[in-house]
């Protein structure tokens, strides 16, 4: 008798202060279930609704072994395809099915993906601050703890002048609230910061920087060319995903390695970026593209075009998602680097099995499946936060909205 899906449910929680969504797929086999990440931190209710009101009735009674069939069924089931809400819901189920498959086989997920190509995954950490001294201190701390890849940012993305609700002195009267920044000032100060870090630290330190799609093309190209001399590991999201052809001009004029993909949701966005050799690193948020099934295909495609993986690993990703990233990192020949952020201690009150960070590398726990367990009762103590998302209200000096 096949093992079938009995119930699919969404479990929203925020133990670290950031909204997370985990999907649990229960089966006809007593005690056998899987967990998957469906985290879309800013539209939690929408994802949970898709999971419980649409995917649950669609999937009940179906064979858990048929992952590819079920993924396609979910993907085309609403006729209109793609988008972060639907993709995250699909991802939660997809990862949970892979988790179940590993538990049935009594093997860690990386074994089902071809086995370990490496024993651990190198990570990069973040170093930011309000001035160069603060950032240098943070870089020193990370280097002293074995980190070999560091992303440096001056006051976050774009060198923001203020936080949500405050106003710079030079904005127009009556301007709306937001995160104000000046693109040219940002470029000047970012170059100053990166030059300082390159001068102060070992030349083998790998430096990364995230533009967060906040520059117009002429200034973006100027910035990328200026950074060539500092030999970045990669420059991230120099161009918004809505302007893919602009990367062709960047390629023709500079050699700074490009990372892109955090905002991708449609397969043609990342397949075209790779096949046209516009990027060097794929940065997709795996749950936003639909889970492990499409991510492993994207990784294989990238291997044919010299594109390495650098999966998105922010705080708004559940431990299940972080561990799913790691299983791909361990098994893919074209792994590049893995983003790794600070972990709030309250996470461990809800989840067990987070990747283990040691001397610049993260290691799996080698449990069957994805390897993460969740205390559902503990999760209820940390309900997700509802309300307006403020950090995406990025504004230029004249008060006009800009991409976040």
Torsion, Cα 272 273 277 278, to 10 degrees, reads: 140
Cβ 250 vs Cβ 221: under 8 Å = yes
Cα 51 from Cα 10, distance rounded (Å): 6
Cβ 347 vs Cβ 372: under 8 Å = no
From 388, 392, 387, select the one nearest 403 (Cα to Cα).
Answer: 392
Is the residue at 331 inside a domain?
Answer: yes
Is the residue at 65 inside a domain?
Answer: no
Cα 269 from Cα 8, distance rounded (Å): 30
- For the chain, counts of helices (H) and of strands (E): 14, 18
Cα 141 from Cα 145, distance rounded (Å): 6
Domain total of the chain: 1
Is the residue at 256 inside a domain?
Answer: yes
Is the residue at 120 inside a domain?
Answer: yes
Ramachandran sector of residue 165 (left: φ over 0; alpha: ψ -120 to 50; beta: rest): left
Cβ 224 vs Cβ 250: under 8 Å = yes
Is the residue at 107 inside a domain?
Answer: no
| Bridge-based pairing state of the strands 179-180 and 356-358 | unpaired
**Ordered per-residue pLDDT tens for the chain, 404 residues:** 899 999 999 999 999 999 999 999 999 999 999 999 999 999 999 999 999 999 999 999 999 999 999 999 999 999 999 999 999 999 999 999 999 999 999 999 999 999 999 999 999 999 999 899 999 999 999 999 999 999 999 877 866 554 444 555 677 888 888 888 889 989 999 999 999 999 999 999 999 999 999 999 999 999 999 999 999 999 999 999 999 899 999 999 999 999 999 999 999 999 999 999 999 999 999 999 999 999 999 999 999 999 999 999 999 999 999 999 999 999 999 999 999 998 889 999 999 999 999 999 999 999 999 999 999 999 999 999 988 888 898 888 888 998 98
Q: What is the pLDDT of residue 167?
A: 52
Q: What is the pLDDT of residue 160?
A: 59
Q: What is the pLDDT of residue 164?
A: 42
Cα 227 from Cα 358, distance rounded (Å): 30
CATH of the domain at 235: 3.20.20.120
Is the residue at 14 inside a domain?
Answer: no
pTM of the entire predicted model: 0.95
Which residues are catalytic, by number?
Answer: 157, 212
Residues 6+ apart with CB under 8 A from 29: 3
| Bridge-based pairing state of the strands 361-363 and 121-129 | antiparallel
* Three-state secondary-structure class, residue 25: strand
Is the residue at 26 inside a domain?
Answer: no
Q: 252-279: string of b/e by CB count within 10 Å (b at 16+)?
A: eebebbbbbbbbbbebebbbebbeeebb
On the 0-12 / 13-18 / 19+ scale of CB atoms within 10 A, 386 is exposed
What is the domain range of residue 168? 112-366
Cα 84 from Cα 263, distance rounded (Å): 9
Is the residue at 69 inside a domain?
Answer: no
Structure token digits, residue 326: 């790691």
Per the DSSP assignment, residues forming a β-bridge with 21 are 12
Q: What is the pLDDT of residue 165?
A: 46
Cα 318 from Cα 348, distance rounded (Å): 11
Using alpha carbons, list the distances in angstroms from residue 79 to 47, 52, 87: 17, 18, 13
């Amino acid at each position: 008798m096949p093992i079938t899906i009995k119930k699919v449910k969404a479990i929203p929680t925020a133990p670290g202060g950031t909204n997370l969504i985990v999907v649990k797929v229960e089966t006809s086999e007593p005690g056998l279930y899987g967990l998957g990440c469906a985290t879309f931190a800013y539209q939690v209710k929408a994802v949970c609704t898709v999971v419980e009101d649409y995917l649950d009735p669609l999937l009940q009674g179906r064979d858990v072994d048929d992952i590819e069939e079920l993924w396609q069924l979910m993907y085309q089931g609403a006729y209109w395809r793609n988008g972060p809400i639907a993709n995250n819901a699909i991802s939660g189920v997809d990862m949970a099915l892979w988790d179940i498959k590993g538990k049935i086989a009594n093997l860690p997920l990386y074994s089902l993906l071809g086995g370990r190509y490496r024993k651990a995954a190198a990570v990069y950490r973040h170093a930011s601050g309000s001035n160069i001294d603060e950032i240098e201190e943070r870089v020193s701390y990370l280097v002293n703890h074995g980190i070999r890849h560091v992303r440096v940012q001056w006051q976050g993305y774009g060198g923001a002048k203020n936080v949500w609700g405050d106003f710079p002195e030079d904005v127009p009267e009556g301007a709306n609230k937001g995160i104000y920044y000046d693109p040219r000032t940002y470029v000047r100060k970012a170059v100053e910061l990166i030059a300082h870090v390159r001068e102060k630290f070992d030349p083998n330190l790998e430096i990364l920087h995230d533009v967060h799609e906040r520059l117009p093309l002429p200034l973006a190209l100027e910035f990328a060319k200026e950074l060539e001399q500092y030999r970045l590991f990669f420059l991230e999201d120099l161009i918004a995903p809505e302007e893919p052809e602009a990367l062709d001009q960047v390629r023709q004029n500079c050699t700074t390695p490009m990372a892109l993909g955090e905002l991708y949701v449609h397969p043609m966005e990342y397949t075209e970026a790779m096949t046209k050799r516009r990027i060097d690193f794929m940065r997709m948020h795996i749950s936003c593209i639909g889970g492990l099934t499409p991510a492993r295909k994207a990784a294989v495609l990238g291997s044919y075009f010299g594109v390495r993986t650098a999966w998105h690993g922010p705080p708004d990703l559940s431990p299940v998602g972080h561990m799913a990233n790691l299983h791909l990192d361990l098994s893919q020949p074209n792994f590049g680097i893995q983003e790794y952020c600070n972990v709030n201690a309250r996470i461990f009150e809800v989840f067990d099995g987070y990747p283990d960070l040691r001397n610049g590398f993260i290691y799996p726990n080698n449990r069957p499946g994805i390897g993460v367990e969740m205390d559902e009762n503990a999760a209820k103590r940390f309900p997700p936060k509802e309300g307006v998302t403020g950090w995406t209200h990025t504004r230029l000096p004249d008060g006009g909205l800009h991409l976040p």
